[in-house]
Amino acid sequence: MSNSYNSPDKLRQKREEMVRYHLERRGISDPRVLEAFRSIPREKFVPEARRNRAYDDCALPIGEGQTISQPYIVALMTQQLKVEAGLKVLEIGTGSGYQTAILAKIGAEIFTVEMSKSLTNLARQRLENLGLADQVKFKVGDGTRGWEEEAPFDRIIVTAAAPKIPLPLEEQLADGGRMVIPVGSRRSQTMTVVIKKGPGNFERHKNISCVFVPLVGVFGWDG
């Protein structure tokens, strides 16, 4: 990455262009979401060799077969989740920690689960460097099982593709809570919003097509 790209002014410009062209023009309007995207340095969440593409509207590999999702998809999921300060949020798939940071910046209390210990450690360090780690609890394990001892959750966000909605996540969602999860095949999914109206009573709304890495676990792929 060149010195000109590394400069704070250039990075701020790139972040603002990302918000203006990739988010606002595509319907992201929640001011809390937009402010979080303006504040969180996405270049800190991608490998050094790919930081010149940190503000491109595309997914980027982060190692171990995982990716950091494109900014628009992260913003869309966050907006659909209707996150507010103080809400208790379960995130399945910590990955790079970028989505975690966006949620924490809005003011939510985050419980994030990741199967990879090394990715968890990297994400924890990034959140600590940004002063956001105090709002986040990390767990290494099978995200399809949720985090039962910390349930219920006001919001659940799943950043990997599920063949179907994992039953433990439905059970751990609070009444009146919302879940955003990509559901479908390994190659193509539909973003799905789940609203829990009461025990065993769910509304499901499908919207855009998307492509995520598989959600692996007992209640996901290869379970």
Pick the CATH number of 66-210 from 3.40.1160.10, 3.30.465.10, 3.40.50.150, 3.40.50.1010: 3.40.50.150
Q: 69 an active-site residue?
A: yes
Domain locations in the chain?
A: 66-210
Those residues of the chain that have pLDDT short of 50 are 1-2
**Active-site residue, from 2, 69, 96, 185:** 69
Helical ranges in 1-63 per DSSP H: 3-6, 8-17, 31-39
Residue 12: per-residue pLDDT: 86
DSSP assignments along 98-119, one per residue: HHHHHHHHHT-EEEEEES-HHH
pLDDT tens profile 53-103: 899 999 998 988 888 999 999 999 999 999 999 999 999 999 999 999 999
